[in-house]
Amino acid sequence: MGWVVYFIASGQIFFLGGVLFIVTVFTRLAPIARLKRYSPLLMLVGFLFSAISGTPISLPFVLAIGVATASLFIVERRDSKQQTRATAWTLITLVVSAMLWEARYHVMPKLGQRQSEIVLFADSLSAGIDQERTWPKILSDDHDVTVHDYSRAGAKLSTALAIAEDVEIPAGLILLEIGGNDILGSTSPQQFHDDMKALMAHLRKTVPTRPIVMFELPLLPFYNSYGSSQRQLAREYNVKLLPKRILMGVLSSQDATLDSIHLSPTGHREMARIVWALLNQN
């Protein structure tokens, strides 16, 4: 089941949903009645796959695709092949555009130069549970990297803000692995937005020219609003997002977690490897 969870929470299933949607549209254009018979089912499955991915697609895209889908079924009833073909290609164009728009968030960002010092604000995924060799310590011990580790077990966005306000932020790239406890806990989407905004605003005001990188959070089905806030605020405060498939890839790896959300020694080694690779980008 690990790959299923990864496929959903990483957002990869959104693209499968899009492909199924496009295949469905082509079946509507096919002269074979049997293909058309199954197209509503394929379209429903494609829609459900995209919906459970938690992908925060903008409302205009959603509305445009909805209108184009309804229009396709309407013009088909009029038996106008020209209108049907034009509407179908419009729908395909919209779906492909949505997939390309989302694909930007699945590409690793470039930092521009090698980083040898990081400032980490994180939760128990980095702090560990009664472990001495957490990934920040592995990174520091095994590589030429100075890690200022402000990770705390159980930390939320508000916790990270309190810590950031209480310390003089050292030199180095700022790395944020925070917000998962907010999503899994009782934090509302609006409170999540406000707390993340406060944290990013404080960091950007305190160290305006410092590179800030954040792990995009894997999302539960229909938790789109949390992802939308994270992406919106990242753009606003010039924070580079690491694709959520990166963090989800570690969590879903064999023997990488103790309880699905806290890293095992194997998971900490994998996280250290990923962050080390990130710091060494040219």
Residues paired with residue 263 on neighbouring β-strands, in sequence order: 257
Q: Which CATH number fits domain 117-279: 3.30.413.10, 3.40.50.720, 3.40.710.10, 3.40.50.1110?
A: 3.40.50.1110
Q: Taking Cα atoms as reference points, which of 218, 217, 220, 254 lies closest to residue 239?
A: 217
Phi, psi of 262 (to 5 degrees): -120, 135
The pLDDT of residue 190: 98
pLDDT in tens, 117-165: 999 999 999 999 877 799 999 999 999 899 999 999 999 999 999 999 9
The pLDDT of residue 280: 82
Please give the mean pLDDT across all residues of the chain. 91
The size of the chain, in residues, is 282
pLDDT in tens, 87-129: 999 999 999 999 999 999 999 988 877 788 999 999 999 999 8
The pLDDT of residue 35: 66
The pLDDT of residue 79: 73
Decide if pLDDT at 61 tops 90.
no
pLDDT in tens, 201-238: 999 999 999 999 999 999 999 999 999 999 999 999 99
Query: From CA 223, how far away is CA 81, in angstroms rounded?
Result: 39
Per-residue 3-state assignment (H helix, E strand, C coil) for the chain = CHHHHHHHHCCCHHHHHHHHHHHHHHHHHCCCHHHHHHHHHHHHHHHHHHHHCCCCCCHHHHHHHHHHHHHHHHHHHCCCHHHHHHHHHHHHHHHHHHHHHHHHHHCCCCCCCCCCEEEEEECHHHHCCCCCCCHHHHHHHHCCCEEEECCCCCCCHHHHHHHHHHCCCCCCEEEEECCHHHHHCCCCHHHHHHHHHHHHHHHHHHCCCCCEEEECCCCCCCCHHHHHHHHHHHHHCCCEEECHHHHHHHHCCCCCECCCCCECHHHHHHHHHHHHHHHCCC
Query: From CA 237, how far away is CA 223, in angstroms rounded?
Result: 22
* Higher-pLDDT residue of 273, 281: 273
pLDDT in tens, 236-280: 999 999 999 999 999 998 889 988 888 999 999 999 999 998 888
The pLDDT of residue 33: 62
Domain chopping of the chain, boundaries: 2-106, 117-279
